[in-house]
């Protein structure tokens, strides 16, 4: 198995295991693919949703490609500034944003996509000299799992649909000049239909803003959520069809000059694999377990959402499947699995298992559960390999703990 021109087993020999490996070319190609699909039709801004993967090298690669950023926290804002993005290329979209965090974002001169009336009023008390837009709750949701559907009416996100014109009106009274309108339906839903219905909602809001407040939107932002085919038999979403349908609605129905999208998963998911070593093989009356050194501390998606990630044995890539395994990690929880019931070549201790499509919400959702240090990340490109994150040490894990001196007596 070769990734970005480098043998998977060489990466593990050099950098240890588990390790996330990102192919730079794939990140660049995915960015270009989504940008050009929409830019064919109208001016397009891609705000990469960096919650998917906020490694500085990946942020830098996308900066070079001309991407902009969707940031959800002051930490993400700061990472992107350090990766070379100017503040105007970042849009901060928070939820339940604290006043200190709002001050931090304003202080860094980053535009804000406002999620509530409370946030709007607290922001006005800090400064009105900041470009704003609003996130509406369009009452249309989509997503690969109920936990990631954000646009339906019952979620915590956005300004309620029946209040959205009032929000712009209040913003104008407070002295803001709102420039955009946004939704995010959810993440990884397979259907195009919710995007089209949602765009119709944005178009009709934008028409009301023009008619009732004389306010034209500079941009219409349809959020993120473009799915990828995780299963070898899944088909990719027809991006060209999506782009054509969405942009024609915006062009025909509004005076907006720009469409904005916030893909995270689409840009990075398939750029990265997780390589993990088989450390134990166990046969039980019911199952064969391939025990590996990555658990849901390393990749939480299978345990948390029941997500499917394709797996293969990197050093036996050419061999046919022979035995059905559950691939399970080192955490003390029964839910600690990476893959269930997969037909693989016979595995032995020392084999390297490759978990596919782990570039989005892989490392970024990793944790220290069971006091396990975070793994390394490696970038590969045309046969070259670079370390882009050092493995955490046990000392670093313990660094922030404090022992009251009375307990040492």
Q: Which residues are catalytic?
A: 332
187 binds ligand LLP (CB under 6 A): yes
CA 202 to chain centre: 23
Q: Which two tokens stand for residue 385?
A: 């390999």
Q: Smaller CB distance to ligand LLP: residue 58 or 148?
A: 148
State yes or no: residue 184 binds ligand LLP (CB under 6 A): yes
Residue with tokens 């804000």: 112
Within 206-225, which residues bind ligand LLP (CB under 6 A)?
223-225
209 vs 167, 179, 256, 354, CA distance in Å? 10, 11, 12, 51
- How many residues contact ligand LLP, by CB under 6 A? 23
* Pick 52 or 278: Cβ nearer ligand LLP: 52
Residue 53 touches ligand LLP, criterion: CB under 6 A: no
**136 binding ligand LLP? (CB under 6 A):** no
- Residue 119 touches ligand LLP, criterion: CB under 6 A: no
Q: Does 198 bind ligand LLP (CB under 6 A)?
A: no
Partners of 353 in the beta sheet? 276, 313
Concatenating the DSSP letter of every residue in 16-67 gives: -SSEEEEEHHHHHHHHHHHHHHHHTTS-EEEEEETTS---HHHHHHHHHHT-
Least distance to ligand LLP from the beta carbon of 147, Å? 7
Can you tell me which of 148, 203, 209, 256 binds ligand LLP, judged by CB under 6 A?
148
Do the beta carbons of residue 329 and residue 297 sit within 8 Å?
yes
- Min dist CB 131 to ligand LLP, Å, is 17
Q: Which of 68, 274, 360, 380 binds ligand LLP (CB under 6 A)?
A: 360
| Residue 63 lies near ligand LLP (rule: CB under 6 A) | no
CB count within 10 Å of CB 107 equals: 11
Between 95 and 196, whose beta carbon lies closer to ligand LLP?
A: 95
Closest CA to 338 of 286, 377, 367, 303: 303
154 vs 252, which CB is nearer to ligand LLP? 154
**Cα–Cα distance for residue pair 288/291, rounded to 1 Å:** 9
Q: How far is CA 325 from CA 12, 28, 162, 339, 340, in A?
A: 22, 34, 51, 8, 7
| Residue 405 CB, nearest approach to ligand LLP (Å) | 41
Site membership for ligand LLP, residue 141 (CB under 6 A): no
Which of residues 4, 104, 138, 263 is near ligand LLP by CB under 6 A?
A: 263
Length of the chain in terms of residues written: 409
361 binds ligand LLP (CB under 6 A): yes
Cβ neighbours of 109 (radius 10 Å)? 15
Q: Which of residues 150-179 bind ligand LLP (CB under 6 A)?
A: 150
> Does residue 46 come out as left (phi exceeding 0), alpha (psi in the -120 to 50 range) or beta?
beta
Nearer to ligand LLP by Cβ, of 21 and 267: the residue is 267
Candidate list 181, 226, 274, 299; residue touching ligand LLP; CB under 6 A:
226
Nearer to ligand LLP, 38 or 325 (CB): 38
Q: Which stretch binds ligand LLP (CB under 6 A): 35-43, 159-167, 196-204, 261-269?
A: 261-269
Distance CA 267, CA 259 (A): 17
By the rule CB under 6 A, 70 interacts with ligand LLP:
yes
Looking at 264, 295, 302, 359, which residue binds ligand LLP (CB under 6 A)? 264
Minimum CB–partner distance for residue 255 and ligand LLP (Å): 24
Q: Cβ-count burial of 226 within 10 angstroms (0-12 exposed, 13-18 middle, 19+ buried)?
A: buried
Provide, rounded to whole angstroms, the least separation between the CB of residue 184 and ligand LLP. 4
Name the DSSP class of 342: E
**Sign for the pseudo-dihedral over CA of 97, 196, 243, 58:** positive
Give the three-state DSSP class for 391: coil
Stretch that binds ligand LLP, among 192-200, 263-271, 310-318, 393-401 (CB under 6 A): 263-271
Q: What is the DSSP letter of 149?
A: B
**149: left (phi > 0), else alpha (psi -120 to 50), else beta?**
beta
Q: Which two tokens stand for residue 265?
A: 């998963």
Q: What are the residues binding ligand LLP (CB under 6 A)?
A: 49, 51-52, 70, 93, 148, 150, 184, 187-188, 223-226, 262-266, 301, 305, 360-361
């Amino acid at each position: 198995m070769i990734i970005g021109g480098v043998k998977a087993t060489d990466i593990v020999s050099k950098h240890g295991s588990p390790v996330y490996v990102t192919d730079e070319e794939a990140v660049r190609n995915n960015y270009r693919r989504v940008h050009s699909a929409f830019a064919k039709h109208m001016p397009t801004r891609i705000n990469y949703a960096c919650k998917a993967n906020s490694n500085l090298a990946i942020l830098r690669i996308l900066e070079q490609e001309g991407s902009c950023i969707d940031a959800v926290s002051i930490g993400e804002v700061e990472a992107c500034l350090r990766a070379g993005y100017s503040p105007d290329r970042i849009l901060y979209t928070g939820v339940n944003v604290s006043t200190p965090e709002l001050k931090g974002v304003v202080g860094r001169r980053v535009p804000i996509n406002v999620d509530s009336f409370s946030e709007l009023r607290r922001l006005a008390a800090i400064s009105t000299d900041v470009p704003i837009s609003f996130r509406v709750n369009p009452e249309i949701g989509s997503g690969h799992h109920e936990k990631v559907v954000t646009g339906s009416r019952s979620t915590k996100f956005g300004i309620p649909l029946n209040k959205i014109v009032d929000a712009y009106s209040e913003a104008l009274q407070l002295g803001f000049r709102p420039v955009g309108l946004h939704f995010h339906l959810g993440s990884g839903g397979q259907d195009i239909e919710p995007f089209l219905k949602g765009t119709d909602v944005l178009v009709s809001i934008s028409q009301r803003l023009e008619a009732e407040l004389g306010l034209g939107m500079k941009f219409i932002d349809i959020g993120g959520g473009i799915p990828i085919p995780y299963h070898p038999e899944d088909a990719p979403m027809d991006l060209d069809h999506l782009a054509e349908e969405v942009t024609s609605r915006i062009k025909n129905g509004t005076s907006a000059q720009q469409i904005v999208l916030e893909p995270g998963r689409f840009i990075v998911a398939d750029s990265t694999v997780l390589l993990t070593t088989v450390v134990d093989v166990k046969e039980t009356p019911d199952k064969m377990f391939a025990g590996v050194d990555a658990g849901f501390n390393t990749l939480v998606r299978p345990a948390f959402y029941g997500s499917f990630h394709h797996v293969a044995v990197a050093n036996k890539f050419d061999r046919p499947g022979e035995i059905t395994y559950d691939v399970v990690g080192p955490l003390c929880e029964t839910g600690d699995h990476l893959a269930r019931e997969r037909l693989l070549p016979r595995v032995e201790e020392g084999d390297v298992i490759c978990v596919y499509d782990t570039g989005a919400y892989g490392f970024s959702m990793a944790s220290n559960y069971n006091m396990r240090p975070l793994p390394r990340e490696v970038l590969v490109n045309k046969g070259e390999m670079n370390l882009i994150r050092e493995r955490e040490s046990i000392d670093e894990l313990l660094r922030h703990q404090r022992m009251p001196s009375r307990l040492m007596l």
